[in-house]
């Protein structure tokens, strides 16, 4: 099917879906196309987008991009996507500028072009000992020169050009997070609030651990013993003590202060563990309440109770 007919079909589908989904206030889809020189860090950038919550695809055939954009535009959980297209595609890569032009009419699309100096790229290939995608029949330096000529027309239509010569893997990831987290107001981190019992051991994956055994133990109240901290009566009992309210407020304020700094350092996932003796009452109630506070602050939060119920 000719590209013009594909673009027209996608546009009609997008309009129909927009009319159906407008009342639900669904945000528009987003497509990021990552391309550029071999060895410039495309795989690292793709992983950074994956950490930001994008659905990522490596080396998608150019001819499938319109269909891929159509699927992204449909109502689903996959609203933000990123894909890599590069010289491995061969001659089909010449169609990318016209495809990008047509896809931009139906979905928010941004093209990121990665490049680096020849000296840096040659050094990277020497360190990894991998062959250049254009083959081993010539030197890496000559292959890079041919690749630059082949990608000139794509670089010209790119929305963002990034020279990765002075970046290591971690710095490149941090740079991408800094550029694209602004759209999410710095909230691109998943916080996990976990309750546990110290007698069963501290969670191995915990980044921060808080001991709540200083609070009165509902275990010694007979009617609360078979229940957990999620039960309204148990939660009300724990909240009845002034130190509980003050602790939740102080810890929540501390976390709201700390999270932007973790994000700035490239942290995409943070596990906060709250522990009591058995992991049934106090830690459960505290983790639930702190999670609610962090959600109110705009963060993505999930709650897990490792030892409750036992």
Neighbours of 181 (CB within 10 A): 17
Q: Is 267 left (phi over 0), alpha (psi -120 to 50) or beta?
A: beta
Mean pLDDT within 214-239: 96
299 SS3 class: coil
| Whole-number average pLDDT of the chain | 83
Q: Calculate the alpha carbon distances from 123 to 115, 117, 141, 143, 195 in Å.
A: 14, 10, 10, 14, 48
Mean pLDDT within 169-173: 85
- DSSP 8-state code for residue 112: E
**Residue with token string 């690749």:** 147
Q: Measure the CA dihedral 222/225/226/229, to 10°.
A: 130
Helix axes 232-239, 242-264, angle to 10 degrees: 100
Strand partners for 162 = 114
Name the nearest CA neighbour of 32 among 100, 88, 97. Answer: 100
Query: How many Cα neighbours within 13 Å face the side chain of 182?
Result: 5
Mean pLDDT within 137-156: 84
Rounded Cα distance between 292 and 270, Å, is 16
Q: Band of the pLDDT at 188, cuts 50, 70, 90? A: low
Instruction: Indicate the helix (H) or strand (E) that contains 288.
Output: helix 282-296
Lowest mean pLDDT among 1-5, 92-96, 162-166, 186-190: 1-5
Q: What is the pLDDT of residue 207?
A: 93
pTM of the model: 0.53
Lowest mean pLDDT among 88-92, 159-163, 184-188, 204-208: 184-188
Residue 267 · residue 212 · CB < 8 Å: no
Q: What is the pLDDT of residue 1?
A: 44
Say yes or no to pLDDT of 235 above 60.
yes
Say yes or no to pLDDT of 281 above 60.
yes
Helix axes 42-51, 169-180, angle to 10 degrees: 50
Name the nearest CA neighbour of 103 among 182, 184, 14. Answer: 14
Domain ranges within the chain, ordered by starting residue: 3-184, 190-305
Q: Band of the pLDDT at 11, cuts 50, 70, 90? A: very low
Neighbours of 163 (CB within 10 A): 15
Q: Band of the pLDDT at 28, cuts 50, 70, 90? A: low
Q: What is the pLDDT of residue 7?
A: 44
Q: Give CATH for domain 3-184.
A: 3.40.50.300
């Amino acid at each position: 099917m000719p590209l013009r007919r594909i673009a027209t079909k996608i546009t009609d589908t997008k309009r129909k879906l927009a009319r159906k989904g407008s009342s639900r206030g669904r945000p528009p889809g987003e497509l990021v196309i990552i391309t550029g020189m071999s060895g410039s860090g495309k795989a690292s950038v793709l992983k950074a987008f994956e950490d930001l919550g994008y659905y990522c695809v490596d080396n998608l055939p150019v001819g499938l991009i319109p269909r891929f954009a159509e699927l992204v535009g449909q109502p689903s959980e996959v609203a933000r996507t990123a894909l890599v297209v590069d010289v491995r595609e061969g001659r089909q890569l010449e169609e990318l500028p016209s495809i990008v032009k047509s896809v931009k009419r139906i979905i928010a699309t941004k093209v990121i072009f990665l490049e680096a100096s020849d000296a840096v790229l040659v050094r990277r290939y020497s360190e990894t000992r991998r062959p250049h995608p254009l083959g081993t029949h010539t030197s890496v330096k000559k292959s890079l020169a041919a690749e630059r000529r082949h990608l000139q027309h794509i670089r010209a239509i790119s929305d963002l050009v990034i020279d990765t010569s002075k970046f290591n893997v971690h710095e490149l990831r941090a740079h991408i997070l800094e550029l694209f987290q602004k759209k999410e107001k710095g909230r691109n981190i998943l916080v996990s609030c976990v309750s546990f019992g110290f007698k069963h051991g501290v969670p191995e994956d915990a980044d921060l651990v808080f001991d709540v055994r200083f609070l009165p133990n509902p275990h010694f109240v007979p009617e609360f013993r078979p229940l957990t901290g999620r039960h309204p009566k148990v939660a009300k009992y724990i909240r009845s003590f002034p130190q509980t309210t003050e602790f939740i407020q102080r810890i929540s304020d501390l976390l709201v202060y700390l999270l932007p700094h973790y994000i700035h350092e490239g942290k995409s996932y943070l596990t906060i563990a709250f522990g009591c003796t058995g992991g049934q009452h106090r830690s459960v109630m505290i983790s639930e309440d702190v999670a609610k506070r962090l959600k109110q602050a705009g963060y993505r939060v999930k709650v897990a109770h490792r030892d409750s119920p036992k």
